[in-house]
């Protein structure tokens, strides 16, 4: 590599005169003296095997664009994949606000220089609380899986119990995260996870199996609604009653974009509501456009168990003026340190801005309209695909956005079908055969407001040609 000293335009301290001044201040003559505590024997000797640096902005841009151009993306391909990260339309104003320098470039989108961020956090919390028909939210956590895991831990602390019941069809990525998060080094504090069977004919929860598993150790019953397989769980109210009768918390994982047409979980008994924000003004971002939310009613038994920061409205020294600030910080590990109930840190605070903008733009009527659009598009797609010889819908239940398509009678695997769809610039449904072998050669298809009749008809035509 070139040994000539490089001065990086965006790193002021890389300038030799600046470095020399800093080294003189701390009394060293070489930067490596800062690492004198690291034994010489374990220091790497020689140059790292790295490519030559690209010193100019234009060259870096060209290099990165060359790499990104190899990707197959949803602008060029029709997308029917979801499974927890679906493609939704993002209004331009969401990006306009989220990309403002005072929001985008701050560490963790935090409030070191406020510029209105505290109010953005407050407005986000208020809008989400209204959508969920609950009273209390914090700023987001990492993702919906993290929200699920923390919600379950909250339930265990509230009840003093150590067993949680989850649906067998739960999102497998979220389930893996929950299993990891609930595992403890100390076996005495281990939280036991049991999976509730789901009915093979409807895909909904098997209530008899649920009843057999409820006992005095059950801290929470957790369901997804809509389920991971897209099915609307119409037994929610009855499940909630069974959970509460056993002294357990009722936790519902929901898709917030469905709540313009589906009842909010709070209104059929949920004590804790969790989910992912990715459908509300966030791009796919290679899976990065996600953030988790947790909500509860206005009850200090629940509020004190939240691990994230929360922002509230306060009076200032100026009469009639309102300010925004972090409140109830004493319940977090920031105040409790090693005695904190759970750790929190840099999360997804930036995403509060586009979510708040999205909900403000849509309003109740807009959320209702987009919910109807998604259900109409998905129903049309399901009907078109089910009309192809050898193809069928796996469940007859009402669904939202996603539905299971079975290909057992076609003589082809989902993997083979999806490879052939790729050649036609179509992302087919997510292959379920590995995680749910009992469903046979089935795929989870996702249809949102971004799909139109033309793209759905093209998918049906491509499948018709591939299978016949």
Of 197, 69, 182, 124, nearest in space to 350 by CA: 124
Q: What is the largest CA-CA distance in the chain?
A: 80
pLDDT at 4: 65
Note whether residue 71 is domain-resident. Answer: no
How do 392-393 and 322-327 pair as beta strands?
Answer: unpaired
Residues 170, 312, single domain; the answer is yes
Residues 83, 38, single domain; the answer is no
Residues 140, 32, single domain; the answer is no
Q: Which of 109-123, 299-313, 321-335 has the lowest mean pLDDT?
A: 109-123
Residues 178, 293, single domain; the answer is yes
Half-sphere exposure of 65 (CA within 13 A, CB side): 6
* CATH number of the domain within which 308 lies: 3.40.640.10
pLDDT at 282: 96
Asked, as a colleague might, if the bond just before 120 is cis with ω within 30 of 0, I would say: no
Of 181, 300, 198, 182, nearest in space to 239 by CA: 198
Of 404, 419, 412, nearest in space to 83 by CA: 404
- In this prediction, residues 260-287 reach a mean pLDDT of 95
User: 273 or 346: whose pLDDT is higher?
Assistant: 273
- Tell me the helix, strand and coil percentages in the chain, rounded to 5: 45, 15, 40
Q: How confident is the model at residue 388 (pLDDT cuts 50, 70, 90)?
A: very high
Note whether residue 140 is domain-resident. Answer: yes
Q: What is the spatial distance between Cα 79 and Cα 73, in angstroms, rounded to a whole number?
A: 9
Q: How confident is the model at residue 107 (pLDDT cuts 50, 70, 90)?
A: low
Residue range 242-259, pLDDT digits in tens: 999 999 999 999 999 999
Residue range 145-166, pLDDT digits in tens: 999 999 999 999 999 999 999 9
Residues 374, 311, single domain; the answer is no
Task: Give me 71's structure tokens.
Answer: 């990707």
pLDDT at 399: 98
Residues 299, 181, single domain; the answer is yes
Residues 21, 108, single domain; the answer is no
Q: What is the spatial distance between Cα 348 and Cα 142, in angstroms, rounded to a whole number?
A: 6
Total number of domains constituting the chain = 3
pLDDT surpasses 80 at 31: yes
Asked, as a colleague might, if the bond just before 226 is cis with ω within 30 of 0, I would say: yes
pLDDT at 235: 98
Domain boundary among 313, 336, 356: 356
- In this prediction, residues 366-392 reach a mean pLDDT of 98
Note whether residue 1 is domain-resident. Answer: no
Sheet holding 442-446, edge to edge: 392-393, 402-406, 442-446, 430-431
Note whether residue 296 is domain-resident. Answer: yes
Tally of CB atoms within 10 A around 106? 17
pLDDT at 338: 81
Residue 409 three-state SS: helix
Residues 345, 226, single domain; the answer is yes
Question: Residue 441: which domain range?
Answer: 76-87+365-465
Dihedrals phi, psi of 47, to nearest 5 degrees: -90, 145
Residues 49, 97, single domain; the answer is no
pLDDT surpasses 80 at 41: yes
Note whether residue 68 is domain-resident. Answer: no
- In this prediction, residues 60-65 reach a mean pLDDT of 94
Containing 295, the helix (H) or strand (E) segment is strand 292-296
Q: What is the spatial distance between Cα 164 and Cα 177, in angstroms, rounded to a whole number?
A: 14
pLDDT surpasses 70 at 109: no
Q: Which of 53-67, 107-121, 283-297, 430-444 has the lowest mean pLDDT?
A: 107-121
Residue 109 three-state SS: helix
Residue 199 CA to chain centroid, in angstroms? 27
pLDDT at 97: 92
Residue 227 three-state SS: coil
- In this prediction, residues 209-228 reach a mean pLDDT of 98
Residues 152, 127, single domain; the answer is yes
Do 264 and 364 meet the contact criterion of CB atoms below 8 Å apart? no
Domain boundary among 308, 335, 356: 356
Of 412, 410, 408, nearest in space to 439 by CA: 408
Q: At what angle do helices 352-386 and 117-132 cross, to 10 degrees?
A: 40
Q: How confident is the model at residue 1 (pLDDT cuts 50, 70, 90)?
A: very low
User: 220 or 14: whose pLDDT is higher?
Assistant: 220
Residues 263, 284, single domain; the answer is yes
Residues 214, 261, single domain; the answer is yes
Provide the percentage of residues in the chain whose pLDDT is more than 90: 74
Of 276, 297, 298, nearest in space to 287 by CA: 276
pLDDT at 390: 96
pLDDT surpasses 90 at 111: no
User: 7 or 226: whose pLDDT is higher?
Assistant: 226
Q: What is the DSSP letter of 216?
A: T
Of 277, 229, 275, nearest in space to 253 by CA: 275
Whole-Å CA distances, 276 to 29, 84, 147? 51, 8, 8
Dihedrals phi, psi of 87, to nearest 5 degrees: -85, 120
Dihedrals phi, psi of 230, to nearest 5 degrees: 90, -10
pLDDT surpasses 70 at 167: yes
* CATH number of the domain within which 378 lies: 3.90.1150.10
Provide the percentage of residues in the chain whose pLDDT is more than 70: 97
Please identify which residue in the block is written with the tokens 């055969």. 433
Residue 299 three-state SS: coil
Note whether residue 4 is domain-resident. Answer: no
Average pLDDT, the chain: 92
- In this prediction, residues 260-271 reach a mean pLDDT of 98
């Amino acid at each position: 590599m070139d040994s000539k000293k490089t001065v990086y335009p965006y790193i002021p301290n890389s300038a030799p005169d600046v470095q020399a001044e800093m080294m003189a201040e701390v009394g060293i003559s070489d930067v490596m003296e800062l690492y004198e505590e690291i034994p010489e024997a374990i220091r790497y000797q020689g140059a790292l095997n790295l490519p030559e640096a690209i010193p100019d902005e234009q060259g870096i841009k060209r290099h990165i664009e060359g790499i990104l151009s190899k990707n197959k993306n949803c602008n060029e391909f029709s997308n029917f994949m979801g499974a927890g990260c679906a493609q939704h339309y993002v209004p331009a104003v969401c990006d306009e606000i989220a990309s403002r320098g005072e929001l985008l470039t701050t560490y963790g989108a935090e409030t070191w220089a406020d510029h209105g961020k505290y109010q953005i956090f407050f407005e986000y919390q208020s809008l989400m609380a209204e959508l969920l028909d609950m009273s209390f939210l914090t700023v987001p956590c990492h993702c919906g899986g993290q929200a699920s895991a923390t919600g379950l831990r909250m339930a265990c602390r509230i009840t003093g119990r150590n067993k949680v019941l989850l649906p067998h069809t739960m999102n497998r990525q979220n389930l893996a995260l929950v299993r990891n998060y609930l595992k403890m080094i100390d076996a005495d504090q281990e939280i036991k996870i049991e999976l509730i069977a789901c009915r093979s004919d409807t895909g909904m929860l098997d209530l008899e199996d649920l009843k057999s598993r409820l006992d005095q150790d059950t801290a929470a019953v957790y369901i997804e609604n809509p389920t991971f397989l897209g099915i609307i769980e119409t037994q929610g109210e009855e499940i909630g009653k069974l959970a509460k009768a056993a002294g357990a918390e009722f936790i519902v994982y929901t898709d917030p974009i469905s709540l313009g047409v589906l009842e909010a979980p709070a209104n059929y008994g949920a004590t804790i509501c969790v989910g992912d924000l990715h459908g509300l003004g966030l791009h796919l971002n290679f899976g990065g456009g996600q953030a988790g939310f947790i909500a509860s009613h206005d009850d200090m038994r629940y509020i004190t168990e939240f691990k994230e920061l929360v922002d509230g409205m306060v009076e200032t020294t100026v009469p009639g003026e309102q300010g925004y600030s972090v409140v109830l910080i004493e319940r977090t590990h920031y105040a409790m340190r090693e005695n904190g109930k759970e750790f929190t840190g840099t999360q997804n605070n930036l995403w509060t801005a586009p979510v708040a903008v999205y909900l403000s733009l849509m309003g109740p009527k807009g959320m209702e309209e987009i919910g109807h659009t998604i259900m109409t598009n998905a129903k049309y797609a399901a009907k078109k695909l089910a009309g192809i010889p050898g193809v069928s819908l796996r469940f007859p239940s009402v669904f939202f956005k996603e539905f299971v398509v079975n290909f057992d009678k076609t003589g082809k695997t989902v993997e083979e079908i999806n490879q052939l769809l790729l050649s036609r610039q179509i992302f087919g449904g997510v292959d379920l055969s590995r995680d749910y072998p009992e469903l046979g050669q089935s795929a989870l298809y996702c249809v949102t407001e971004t799909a139109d009749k033309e793209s759905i008809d093209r998918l049906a035509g491509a499948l018709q040609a591939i299978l016949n």
